[in-house]
Amino acid sequence: MLEKDIEKVFYSEAQIQERVKVLGQQISEDYQDKNPLVVGVLKGAVPFLADLVRAINVHLEMDFMDVSSYGSAFVSSGEVRILKDLDTVVEGRHIILVEDIIDSGRTLKYLVELLKHRKAASVKIVTMLDKPEGRVVDMEADYIGFDVPNEFVVGYGLDYIENYRNLPYIGVLKPAVYENAD
């Protein structure tokens, strides 16, 4: 079972669900009659986006992008490559970019600049987690679920070598999990 690998839980399933409801209400108020395009960054943002859109009570569309930022399992490099682009025309649209976590801020900075270059009417960022201590470039989210300290977290979309994304809560792995990895 997955819980045996978890050292501590930062945010429980109930805390996450409660926070997502509040974010959804705020976004509903801010986007009345704007028909926003909600853009999820694969794969980490999927559980959050799925919960968030069901807490938003205005018309919206959804689309996804997949980007790779070269780096190790723990750090992103900032060199971003698009693996899957949007299917939707961005020009004139109000974009809500949904991320799992902002650490250095490099991935998001790249994506925001790309969407502005494509003439989005507006671009706002919603992230489940913010790790302010990790920031390397100037980048702040407009809506934030929770802050986390400078530790490697997993769950609710966040992976360690593609595992643990399906945990319904956010936590930290036991050191033994890393020691056992190849």
Contacting positions for Mg ion (CB under 5 A): 41, 44, 100, 159
Q: Is 66 a catalytic residue?
A: no
From 8-16, 118-126, 146-154, 174-182, give the range in contact with ligand 5GP by CB under 6 A.
146-154
How far apart, in whole angstroms, are the C-alpha atoms of residue 18 and residue 92?
32
Closest distance of CB 105 from ligand 5GP, Å: 5
Span 47-76, contacts to ligand 5GP by CB under 6 A: 69, 76
Name residues whose C-beta falls within 8 Å of residue 86's C-beta, 6 or more positions apart in sequence. Answer: 39, 63, 64, 65
- Rounded CA gap, 144 and 127, in Å? 5
- Quick check: helix, strand or coil at residue 25? helix
Distance CA 165, CA 98 (A): 16
Query: Are the C-beta atoms of 158 and 148 separated by less than 8 Å?
Result: no
Q: 89 vs 137, which CB is nearer to ligand 5GP?
A: 137
Q: Which residue in the list 5, 51, 103, 130 is annotated as catalytic?
A: 103
Asked if residues 137 and 79 have their Cβ atoms less than 8 Å apart, the reply is no
Residue 103 interacts with ligand 5GP (CB under 6 A): yes or no: yes
- In the complex, the smallest distance separating the C-beta of residue 32 from Mg ion, rounded to whole angstroms, is 28
Q: Which residues are catalytic?
A: 103
- Catalog residues that contact ligand 5GP under the rule CB under 6 A: 44, 69, 76, 99-107, 131, 152-154, 158-160
